[in-house]
Amino acid sequence: MTRLLVECTHVFKHPTVNSGIQRVVRNVIKQLPASAEDVECMPVILIGGGLYQVKRLAPLKSLKLDLIGLRVKLEQWASAFWLRHRALERRRPFSQSHFARRVLYVGCRLTAFACFSLPMRLLGRALKGKQIPERCVPLQHRAGDQLVLLDSSWHSDFFAHVERLKRDGVGVIAVIYDLIPLTHPQFYNTRLVEVFSEWFDWITRTADGYMAISATVRDQVREELQRRIGAEQTDKRWFDFFHLGSELDLHNSHATVEPRLKSLFATPEPVLLMVSTIEPRKNHAYLLDAFERAWAAGSTARLCIAGRVGWKCEALLARVRNHPELNQRLFMFNDLSDTSLEHAYAHASALVFPSFVEGFGLPLVEAMQRGLPAMGSDIAVFREIGGEFMAYFDLADPQSLTDLVTDMERSEVFPAPLGLEQWRWLSWREASAQLVERIERNVNPSAVGPQSQHAHCP
């Protein structure tokens, strides 16, 4: 029997983070198929040089002070603090005076040391020797096990441990969400690009197989390996993909919807929804350009931007906050719960997604699975996911999106060739089963039956 050790270390350590990869990891782990005759699936983490089987991914409810959680919060607050420092540096008088910038930097360093660095060091000492949480148990690996690196492992410290497992006969499978830090480094901070590139160098040397989240990314990964190590070495690895599910697993029907969001949908004018982290790759500036043209032409459509604040977005946030249509025809929410997001999907007129580049585009599937039609950038992966069920616009011309919005508003007909009544997509249970089936198909080709359907057709 093959044991699939599905790694989820980052989500285990940071259970409250709810962005794209964390959502995927949490849902795949939750829906891993029960052990069958030929394969056994178990979630695992790699901490402190040890391998542990996860018994519970969500944190235990406890009245005790959560020191690990507190340290994570301090790290998040410190990151936000230094983002604010960088924004202040660009303003007067700091932008015009080296002395003023120096004073600002020294003041911020002292503040950060007192408020963040020192408490984190003290917490580190308090947590020393207590890195094995109650939610997991030690696990002994075996030759023939397959370690599936499902989580975002590029910032992890377990590379040497994985290499030891590989020397002991454990197969290594890398789940690749995208190669965007390599192909479009301008969208990220320099350090993240360096870290991701170092990780990809490591995973190129270490992995036996690669599971992407779309056929588009699978092909990109194969091409990147051919470029780095040549066709002969690339042919010794295997490449496949699975598609993601669509349910919002943290939705709670008894939770309260954000009141300001609820009031947005209380009037009949159409609302177009954008769901994503606020960062340059998502192309929010294009979105504003297109809607400003629509509003200038008399459109009453409203734009609702939902997503946490990310990086390199100070100018975009300033544009939104100073926009004359803010809270009139332009709305932004940076901390919506899954319950509020479910409400937005249920009541919006369409989803709009102008991203420059994606590995998958999870909000598109989340929206369309709920009957909300979607407009997206005319890029390959969106065509793979949406087919003729979506409407597409040209990223070189904001007017193409403006025309889609105004035509839909005028005709009350969504401009896609096929209606969503024919749409079907995978559940997270089916997505997890597909992941396991395709890994097993590549690891043990003779032991696998027919593969599951992945397309969006009925």
Per-residue pLDDT of 373-397, as tens digits, reads 999 999 999 999 999 999 999 999 9
- The pLDDT of residue 63 is 41
Distance CA 151, CA 329 (A): 38
The string of DSSP letters for 178-214 reads: --HHHH-GGGS-HHHHHHHHHHHHHHHHH-SEEEESS
Return the domain boundaries, the chain.
2-59+137-245+430-447, 67-127, 259-422
CATH of 2-59+137-245+430-447, one of 2.60.460, 2.170.150, 3.40.50, 3.30.499: 3.40.50
Please report the pLDDT score of residue 245 as a whole number.
87
Under 8 Å between Cβ of 194 and 286: no
Give residue 327's region: left, alpha or beta (phi > 0; psi -120 to 50).
Answer: left
Pick the CATH number of 259-422 from 3.40.50.1370, 3.40.50.800, 3.40.50.2000, 1.10.4100.10: 3.40.50.2000
Alpha helices in 252-379 (DSSP H): 259-264, 284-296, 314-321, 338-347, 362-369
- At 90, the pLDDT band (50, 70, 90 cuts) reads confident
Contact 440, 448 (CB under 8 A): yes
- Report yes or no: 330 and 302 within 8 Å, Cβ to Cβ: yes
Looking at the chain, the whole-number percentage of residues with pLDDT higher than 90 is 62
pLDDT for residue 457 is more than 70: no
Residue 367 near residue 339, CB atoms below 8 Å: no
pTM of this prediction exceeds 0.85: no
Asked whether the beta carbons of 420 and 389 are under 8 A apart, the reply is yes
- The pLDDT score that the predictor gives to residue 101 is 84
d(CA 390, CA 82): 40
Q: Give the burial class of 191: count Cβ atoms within 10 A of its Cβ; 0-12 exposed, 13-18 middle, 19 or more buried.
A: exposed
Q: Same fold for the domain at 2-59+137-245+430-447 and the one at 259-422?
A: yes
pLDDT digits (tens, 9 = 90+) for 5-35: 999 998 888 877 666 788 899 999 999 987 6
The pLDDT of residue 454: 47
